[in-house]
Chain A
């Protein structure tokens, strides 16, 4: 095993990423275990199973596109955009990093350089402001940084602009939260559970449409999977 494997393993488990793992998860979501630390959200926690299930698929490697540092940065950025909390699954729970990583290795391949340059500029901004890259900042400084990007207040960016980079990561984070799990995010329907969306239902009845209550009939329906017994 490579010498970084242990720290990578901790990182992957801790942040619930793992592009390869969740690529498999999209095909067989129940077969792959949950993450060790997910803010106490709806998913069951089984650390031992997590290691066993993930490591063979990891193969000692990382996701399909990002290097490990960039993966940490995007995972942290996405988590600040849509943070998890008890009972409120966030970007880490939804495996947004995996969604973005798979998208950049496939349908969004023409945005690879946008991300590479954006991430380089992001770290240049953070090193100038705080002496550390984004992934190593505390959450207060991460939030300050994101706000600076959102409002175009950074001199470290040329192309992409700070706002363009913020807007794109935000858009892709929301895609990873709310797109069907087949694309590698919205793990265990985390995003749909968060907002109370029942998925791609093929019909609603007159009674459903007459109701002023939350729609809770199970299962949540995805392209390849169903979820019953969700916690609310």
Chain B
């Protein structure tokens, strides 16, 4: 059993933790980062292997060793979900993600107020626990810019200082500066999507990606190999934390990364402060780190689990849980899907950046009038491969054949052989709302390889408001598929109510300790030297991917920590 001392211990060195490690290290603060997985290198990612990384999910947690269970409601038995969203290595999910990098809309930060002002309080669905964020877009805008420029994001502005720019996302919130890099090259999926959307009077654009369209900061540009989502980048063009912030953290001389470390408890004393963490090493050793500040920046499952596992007599319901909101209000994107297949052209969906190649924002957020639609909020619509990466195995696993075509046999074979290089998937990434009974707690029956209770999700997206949104978006996507001139357009059947992608919530931020777990800096209301960061903080989820917002918030927290907390430790920011 080893004991180490440090200023700050960071549990989970991914999108948020990696930024904190680098920025605190630069300010002379001693940081230890704990990571349960390995630290990989760019050289580990060549050559590409779809079975290993897409199908067997080699960059994600092993669900047998680290189960996360799910049940649709409190009366059902929970079972482990087959795959998890998050990463399992230094750099976290940014190693394997599709690198889609959005700024949220202005109204994404004030969903409750926006809805009530425009549609009246009765438009908020029954049981929905939505609150506004404790900050506005303009507060975060400088940090979005910093994240885009420090990490490297490719895209085209659609709203530069209030001026609309055609070809960018005309619905985006105003930005002070354009992206640091131009958009990635467009492929045939994007060409077809853009033409169809324009024909329908919509506003398509190249999805912003944290993938370098040109050499930047010593890293090479994208080779368009198509192995983005689910894979590590073999040239380091994907702006993952692994190739951006971790080298910066190393260079400070103040950062130590411990890999193979499974944190199982946050330690606290009777004064009401946390004192450090305990973790199991790769050799099953039991170790302790004493620290002035603890930052939990694992994925939402482990952030919530650690708060609950660390209960004491002083904190009988878990740490930072005087509000009772720990583990509550979780959300997940549901991918409403349609498919278009062409007889007269190949689109070779396996080429180019793999995830959400081109997008439209016309049906997202409150960008369209929801009056009489039966739902609030929307979805980002994009075109790309069915499995978010374009290999044949991912497509076979992710694309149901059209009605009339069986799932096996000669007819299926001929369908797949003909259309694999001639199809486009359309995905509506829906902004599902928070409800208090959508929650994570500790599974009383299922344990992980360390003997700890698994995080258990209780969640069912099939609520009237969310169902109406999905049906609306699917109709719009069928229209787009038809406008593409596809020979076949069909939709995917709705699955069970299981959570989809980008799980968020569980330690939400808010304006008061009564309705939330943390303040806008991720600092817990109850324990000022305990921070919880990452998408667990998000009170609402937007129809956009969460990572750039996680990163912008981390830059904002790092600034506040270095400039204010360091001078006056223990006080609320």
- Seen from chain A, the residues whose Cβ lies within 8 Å of a Cβ on chain B are 80-83, 85, 88, 90, 107, 110, 143, 146, 150, 170-171, 174-175, 177-180, 182-183, 191-192, 194-197, 200-206, 208-215, 221, 223
Contact = CB atoms under 8 A, between A and B. Distances in A.
B343 interface: no
Given A174-B396, A204-B225, A209 B413 contact: no
Contacts of B200: none
In the complex, the 9 A-B pairs of residues with the closest C-beta atoms, listed nearest first: A203-B223, A179-B51, A195-B420, A178-B393, A81-B408, A200-B48, A178-B392, A212-B345, A209-B187
B341 to A, nearest CB: 13
Contact of B47 (A110, A179, A223): A223
B226 interface: yes
Given A171-B397, A196-B421, A214-B421, A81 B352 contact: no
29 contacts: A80-B409, A82-B412, A83-B410, A88-B413, A177-B396, A178-B50, A180-B50, A180-B51, A183-B51, A191-B392, A194-B417, A195-B392, A200-B47, A200-B48, A201-B225, A202-B223, A203-B223, A204-B351, A206-B185, A208-B348, A208-B351, A209-B187, A209-B188, A209-B224, A209-B348, A211-B348, A212-B188, A214-B421, A215-B421
B487 to A, nearest CB: 14
Given A80-B409, A202-B234, A88 B49 contact: no
B56 interface: yes
Interface of B: 46-51, 55-56, 64, 185-188, 223-227, 234, 345-348, 350-352, 391-393, 396-397, 407-410, 412-414, 416-417, 420-421
Residue in A107, A150, A180 with the greatest tally of chain B CB atoms within 10 Å: A180
B230 to A, nearest CB: 13
B420 A196 contact: yes
Given A212-B188, A223-B47, 5 more contacts: A90-B413, A200-B227, A202-B234, A203-B223, A209-B348
Contacts of A179: 50-51, 55, 393
A114 to B, nearest CB: 14
A82 B396 CA distance: 12
Contacts of A208: 224, 348, 351
Contact of B56 (A81, A107, A200, A212): A107
A214 to B, nearest CB: 5
Given A175-B393, A213-B346, A195 B351 contact: no
A146 B51 CA distance: 25
A188 to B, nearest CB: 15
Given A202-B46, A204-B352, A197 B391 contact: yes
Contact of A214 (B223, B346, B393, B413): B346
A17 to B, nearest CB: 19
Given A174-B396, A179-B51, A197 B188 contact: no
A170 B412 CA distance: 12
A146 B409 CA distance: 10
A110 B407 CA distance: 26
A231 to B, nearest CB: 14
A194 B419 CA distance: 11
Nearest to B51: A179
Contact of A204 (B224, B393, B396, B412): B224
A107 B351 CA distance: 29
A213 B347 CA distance: 8
Residue in B391, B396, B416 with the greatest tally of chain A CB atoms within 10 Å: B396
B186 A211 contact: no
A112 to B, nearest CB: 15
Nearest to B416: A195
A110 B62 CA distance: 14
Contacts of B350: 197
Nearest to A214: B346
A205 B221 CA distance: 12
A171 B451 CA distance: 31
A212 B188 CA distance: 7
Contacts of A83: 409-410, 413
B396 A209 contact: no
Contacts of B396: 174, 177-178
Given A81-B408, A180-B51, A213-B346, A197 B392 contact: yes
